[in-house]
Chains A and B, each alone.
Chain A
Amino acid sequence: MTRQLLALLALATTVACSADMSLYKGADDSDGSWADGGSTDGQGDGAAADGGATAPEDEDSFFSLAPAATTAYVFVANPDRDTVTRVAVPSLAVITTEVGDHPIAVATTSDYTKAVTFNEGDDSVSVIDAETLAVSDVAVRANMNAMAMSPDGRFVICWHDQDVDEEESSEGGAQSFNEVSVVDTEALTHAPLVVGFNPRAVQFSADSSLAVVVSDAYLAVVDLSAEELSPERIAVSDDLVDPPEAEEVLLTPDGRFAFVRQFGATELVVVDLAEQVVDHVAVGSNPTDLDLLPDGQRAVAVARDSHELWIYDLADPFADAQVVDMPDTETLGSVLMSPDGSRGLLYSTASGVSHYASWELESDEITVRALVKPVQSMGISPTGETALVFHPKDNGVDVDPTSPFYDQWALSMIDLTDDFFSNPLRLPAEPSGYANSADGNQGFFIMEEVPYLEVLHYESLLYDEIELASAPIHVGVLPESTLAWVSQDHPLGRMSFFDPATEVLQTITGFELNSGIEH
């Protein structure tokens, strides 16, 4: 798993890239093989829950990094050249600027005025003016390898994620695995904080006033509005010797409470961040997913082993939760909500069963439906009218060997407005990236080593294939746009832009050379 994805793992309220990354929830190995079907351990589901999973990539490639986009630009970090390339859209004018040593992550602010890189080689963060490309560098603590940006873009937090494959790290001297660096991208200041052993992820409140750093045994709460930043460390387990690891943390939009889902538990940990009080609420047996409902008022947990959905009122987390029974005959461990919150899709990536279920929130009616193959991951279009189900190559427990989908990767488009009619597609390779157009009419996905951009038309359930010049690496859509971009494998960098309205594909190749232009 590439390092930049780790920042997105497991955090339901992660803002950046959430539209593109909400698809993959589940299968814990690259060919989609199953965990113990119907198991009680929850592994393989929660471990990657809500993460933006894509297949492992070559760390040496220029495009091991997902580009970051604004409405007008796409920023691509070039680690081996210590540069960032800005591609203007639609002119495709390319400008490259120098940043710190070995930038391994790039993010853009929500107002699209800045891009920020984390430079692993010299332990710094570069803040780049999106228009002028003026660069300001801020030093951070050594030994970091991951970065997350606050929703308003003002702060980035860097930490050392032990799950990241190390490519380059600071050498010599003492190393801490308890620290994070908070960088104010406006004031260009740096605050090092000690947060707890093994920071796993960073959460921000919706208003960016609060950051919560999740580590093995602590939540470190940082008031970003304070003049001097300091962490309030809250132990989330009474077991100080062998605390259960937090699999997922959900921060309420107002930043008051944090819900912590732990491996194999029967309760959720609820932390009152303001009062720094830790308490628990019941959650049934083996919660394997925890999501915020689109209204922002409620959270839902999927108790896979007790076949229940637990719904919590975030304004009063300790009030009795609403419990919705799921069919006893089904193993359903994940939930995906429609954008309007009226419907949920329930599925399991661990059971190996070719089923999913729809959950109508108004009536709490749950209907189990069939698929051509088990689920590897599931997504829903921005309009909520179409669901996408990616199926693994592995056949699970119920795929007939005579099926055209047997031993094949597959994708199903499901029309949620027309009695869940589906159009399953057999795929030549594993999908490795997915994005939706802003208007929700098209979806785009790419497959490993297959030089095509696949365009899904949600209204018709048809698809088109757009041939690319080389194998795709990442796919995305420019914010507030239908223009899709695909970064591709090329030693000097390659990116294509596809406009579904005109069906024109524009490709730029070799923009890494721009870093060598001399004046």
Chain B
Amino acid sequence: MPTPLSRLLPLLLPVGLLACNPWENLPDQDWYWMDGPLWDPSSAVAATDGVYIALPHAGALARVKDDGTFDVVDLDGAEVVRMVATPDASQVIVWDRWRVCEDPEAEKVEDCDEEELSWSYELSVVQDGAVQVVTEIPPHLNRLAFSPDGGTAVAYLDFESADDVPVDGVVDLTQVAFVDLGSGAVQSLSVGFSANNVLFSLDGSRAVVLSRSQVVVVDLATFEKTVTYPLTLDADQQVDPNGAALTPDGRYALITIEGSKDLYKLDLDVEAIDIISLEGAPATLSVNNDQDKSLLVYGSLAQVDVLEHEYFGIQSVELDEPCTAVLETATTALLYNDQARTHDVYELDFATLEPVEYVMANPVQSMELTASGRYAVAVLAPEYGSSGNDLDDYQDNRYGLGVIDLQEDDDVSLVLEAQPVGAAVVEDESGSFALLLLEGLDSLLKVDLSNPSVPAVVELVEAPTGIGALPDGRFYITHDAALGLVSFLDPATDTLTSTAGFGAVDLQGDDELPRLAGEE
């Protein structure tokens, strides 16, 4: 869910404890101070069987359902570190941890000397509100990439997204772990320093793991390295991949390099390397499977390169402004810049390669396409610094919503009352809509993309903090509610159901060591 950490509830939460259920059993019928939030809306992960949310205070995991109920997943005393849903949303993979004390006599944390206290980590596969499989991977591996069939995951370290790197004795920064999600079997491999991207062949037979200055191909049947491709022959040179994709036939891995004009083309079938020279360092590489072509856009070049996959020839299309991001349909691509203060958005038809230019009122912060590809919805960021009093300045200084009708080649930029805290698009028989949550507003704006100027308002029970999609096409909305509140929205009917109170699990808490030494 996109809600930033800054949107979390205040860390110090005074809860007035009343002399009625469920609080009557609290100690002393008095005030009890908690030094953190009861639940973490940003942790919410949608699965087919509910929305899973971490409860930091209780050190627990809740499954919130749309029927107003919730339950707590038994993690055997462990607390959630992070979660991710499997691609089919049938399962949730949970990194969790628990306190352990070397002193076998210690039963509580407070009984344990600080130097004997440590964390243990595990990876739990959760489904239907229960742990199905538990396995162990090195705790610093904080990201998962899933094979096409979802049966295998590769755990690797994404250092940029890591809050910290847990060190349990020794950390091998060249390591990744292959996890059989069915059995929990783990096979660790040393694949190269800072492995940070994993690609899977379409047939799921092999994984391509990218790391600094080399790429390793792993046979997923045996979890053994079959080929190692060097990206440089100079040991003093660091070549860091920053983008990669497989061609639709799975034969070639295309790899962009941080700060480099080189596009590496690795032939996975005949095991050969080719370097395609680009005119700049690409910001984004995007493979279009329907067109069997790749697009490359550049933060410093006002052009998009179309790379065909037969001879790997490049056709450059000039733009007025550089673009850094790409959205694609089967026949067109939408190019925009989410890293600069430019306003242009381009629609590129693969057949004609003639770009259609749209100009947003403000820079694009994020953009999404409807499923049909007819509409694009952009959250527009304010351009602070405009100090005039005219209408342009008014718009410049505010967040906005850009709506592009790609069929009619029409666009509109709307001014928003407040900063969006969540946005989503939905398309059904009744039309195409953008769902928008604004900071401080207790309502959801439902923008009909065919007539975006007059949004419908769906009243919410509390101010929202974020929105996310459910696997069935509905949405969940998290709210600014201390004890936990999630709404489920059916966009077809605009009906809302809510589930509340799941944050109030194990309010008393205790500091018992969940798994005593020797029990692991």
B233→A516 contact, CB < 8 A: yes
Taking CB atoms, residues of chain B closer than 8 Å to A519 are 226-228
B228→A517 contact, CB < 8 A: yes
**Residue in B closest to A509 when the chains form the complex, CB atoms:** B275
Distance in Å: Cβ of B296 to nearest Cβ of chain A: 16
Taking CB atoms, residues of chain A closer than 8 Å to B228 are 517-519
1/0 per position for A189-204, CB-CB distance to B under 8 A? 0000000000000000
Taking CB atoms, residues of chain A closer than 8 Å to B270 are 93-95
Taking CB atoms, residues of chain A closer than 8 Å to B311 are 504, 506
Interface check B230, CB cutoff 8 A: yes
29 contacts across the A-B interface (CB closer than 8 A): A93-B267, A93-B270, A94-B270, A94-B272, A94-B274, A469-B277, A504-B313, A506-B312, A506-B313, A507-B277, A509-B275, A509-B276, A510-B264, A511-B273, A513-B229, A513-B230, A513-B233, A513-B273, A514-B272, A514-B273, A516-B229, A516-B233, A517-B229, A517-B230, A517-B271, A517-B272, A518-B227, A518-B230, A519-B226
B274→A509 contact, CB < 8 A: yes
Taking CB atoms, residues of chain A closer than 8 Å to B272 are 93-95, 511, 514, 517
Complex interface residues of chain B between 236 and 267 (CB less than 8 A to chain A):
262, 264, 267
Give the CA-CA distance A191 to B129 in the complex, in Å.
81
Give the CA-CA distance A502 to B488 in the complex, in Å.
59
Complex interface residues of chain B between 220 and 238 (CB less than 8 A to chain A):
226-233
Give the CA-CA distance A510 to B263 in the complex, in Å.
11
**Residue in A closest to B264 when the chains form the complex, CB atoms:** A510
Interface check A512, CB cutoff 8 A: yes
Is the interface on chain B under 10, 10 to 19, 20 to 34, or 35 or more residues?
Answer: 20 to 34
Interface check A426, CB cutoff 8 A: no
Give the CA-CA distance A77 to B277 in the complex, in Å.
22
Taking CB atoms, residues of chain A closer than 8 Å to B233 are 81, 492, 512-513, 515-516
**Lowest 5 CB-CB distances: which A-B pairs, in order?**
A510-B275, A516-B230, A509-B275, A94-B272, A513-B273
Give the CA-CA distance A517 to B264 in the complex, in Å.
14
Q: Which of A81, A507, A510, A512 has the most CB of B within 10 A?
A: A510
Give the CA-CA distance A519 to B311 in the complex, in Å.
27
Interface check A508, CB cutoff 8 A: yes
Distance in Å: Cβ of B120 to nearest Cβ of chain A: 36
Give the CA-CA distance A95 to B272 in the complex, in Å.
7
Give the CA-CA distance A114 to B273 in the complex, in Å.
24
Main secondary structure of the interface of B (DSSP, over half): strand
A510→B227 contact, CB < 8 A: no
Question: B residues touching A (Cβ–Cβ < 8 Å)?
Answer: 226-233, 262, 264, 267, 270-277, 311-313
Taking CB atoms, residues of chain A closer than 8 Å to B312 are 506
Taking CB atoms, residues of chain B closer than 8 Å to A504 are 311, 313
Taking CB atoms, residues of chain B closer than 8 Å to A93 are 267, 270, 272
A510→B274 contact, CB < 8 A: yes
1/0 per position for A481-519, CB-CB distance to B under 8 A? 000000000001000000000001011111111111111
Distance in Å: Cβ of A83 to nearest Cβ of chain B: 11
Taking CB atoms, residues of chain B closer than 8 Å to A510 are 262, 264, 273-275
A509→B277 contact, CB < 8 A: yes
Taking CB atoms, residues of chain A closer than 8 Å to B277 are 469-470, 507, 509
Taking CB atoms, residues of chain A closer than 8 Å to B313 are 504, 506
Distance in Å: Cβ of B224 to nearest Cβ of chain A: 11
Given A93-B267, A504-B311, A504-B313, also A511-B274 (CB < 8 A): yes
Give the CA-CA distance A469 to B314 in the complex, in Å.
12
Give the CA-CA distance A518 to B231 in the complex, in Å.
12
Give the CA-CA distance A507 to B274 in the complex, in Å.
9
Give the CA-CA distance A510 to B275 in the complex, in Å.
5
Taking CB atoms, residues of chain B closer than 8 Å to A512 are 233
Taking CB atoms, residues of chain A closer than 8 Å to B226 are 519
Beyond A506-B312, A514-B272, 19 extra complex contacts between A and B, CB < 8 Å = A93-B267, A93-B270, A93-B272, A94-B273, A470-B277, A492-B233, A492-B275, A504-B313, A506-B311, A509-B275, A510-B264, A510-B274, A511-B273, A513-B231, A517-B227, A517-B228, A517-B229, A517-B273, A518-B228
Complex interface residues of chain A between 453 and 497 (CB less than 8 A to chain B):
469-470, 492
Q: Which of B226, B264, B311, B313 has the most CB of A within 10 A?
A: B311
Give the CA-CA distance A508 to B232 in the complex, in Å.
16
Distance in Å: Cβ of B333 to nearest Cβ of chain A: 24
Distance in Å: Cβ of B252 to nearest Cβ of chain A: 12
Give the CA-CA distance A470 to B276 in the complex, in Å.
12
**Residue in B closest to A92 when the chains form the complex, CB atoms:** B274
Distance in Å: Cβ of B110 to nearest Cβ of chain A: 53
Distance in Å: Cβ of B61 to nearest Cβ of chain A: 43
Taking CB atoms, residues of chain B closer than 8 Å to A506 are 311-313
**Residue in A closest to B234 when the chains form the complex, CB atoms:** A491
Distance in Å: Cβ of A46 to nearest Cβ of chain B: 43
Give the CA-CA distance A83 to B274 in the complex, in Å.
17
**Residue in B closest to A81 when the chains form the complex, CB atoms:** B233
Q: Which of A92, A94, A509, A512 has the most CB of B within 10 A?
A: A509
Give the CA-CA distance A404 to B325 in the complex, in Å.
50
**Residue in B closest to A96 when the chains form the complex, CB atoms:** B272
Distance in Å: Cβ of A489 to nearest Cβ of chain B: 12
Distance in Å: Cβ of B426 to nearest Cβ of chain A: 45
Taking CB atoms, residues of chain A closer than 8 Å to B267 are 93
Give the CA-CA distance A512 to B270 in the complex, in Å.
15
Taking CB atoms, residues of chain A closer than 8 Å to B274 are 92, 94, 508-511
Distance in Å: Cβ of A71 to nearest Cβ of chain B: 19
**Residue in A closest to B311 when the chains form the complex, CB atoms:** A506
Taking CB atoms, residues of chain B closer than 8 Å to A518 are 227-228, 230
Taking CB atoms, residues of chain B closer than 8 Å to A517 are 227-230, 271-273
**Residue in A closest to B229 when the chains form the complex, CB atoms:** A517
Taking CB atoms, residues of chain A closer than 8 Å to B262 are 509-510
Taking CB atoms, residues of chain B closer than 8 Å to A516 are 229-230, 233
Q: Which of A81, A470, A508 has the most CB of B within 10 A?
A: A508
Give the CA-CA distance A138 to B267 in the complex, in Å.
33
Complex interface residues of chain A between 72 and 109 (CB less than 8 A to chain B):
81, 92-95
Taking CB atoms, residues of chain B closer than 8 Å to A507 are 276-277
Distance in Å: Cβ of B373 to nearest Cβ of chain A: 32
Give the CA-CA distance A249 to B275 in the complex, in Å.
45
Taking CB atoms, residues of chain A closer than 8 Å to B276 are 507, 509
Give the CA-CA distance A518 to B216 in the complex, in Å.
9
Give the CA-CA distance A366 to B226 in the complex, in Å.
69
Give the CA-CA distance A519 to B224 in the complex, in Å.
11
Taking CB atoms, residues of chain A closer than 8 Å to B231 are 513
Give the CA-CA distance A513 to B257 in the complex, in Å.
15
Give the CA-CA distance A507 to B262 in the complex, in Å.
13
Q: Which of B228, B267, B272 has the most CB of A within 10 A?
A: B272
Give the CA-CA distance A504 to B275 in the complex, in Å.
18
Give the CA-CA distance A509 to B275 in the complex, in Å.
5
Distance in Å: Cβ of B97 to nearest Cβ of chain A: 36
Give the CA-CA distance A469 to B277 in the complex, in Å.
7
Distance in Å: Cβ of A102 to nearest Cβ of chain B: 16
Taking CB atoms, residues of chain A closer than 8 Å to B264 are 510
Complex interface residues of chain A between 271 and 296 (CB less than 8 A to chain B):
none
Taking CB atoms, residues of chain B closer than 8 Å to A508 are 274
Give the CA-CA distance A513 to B228 in the complex, in Å.
11
Complex interface residues of chain A between 201 and 218 (CB less than 8 A to chain B):
none
Distance in Å: Cβ of B253 to nearest Cβ of chain A: 13
Distance in Å: Cβ of B364 to nearest Cβ of chain A: 33
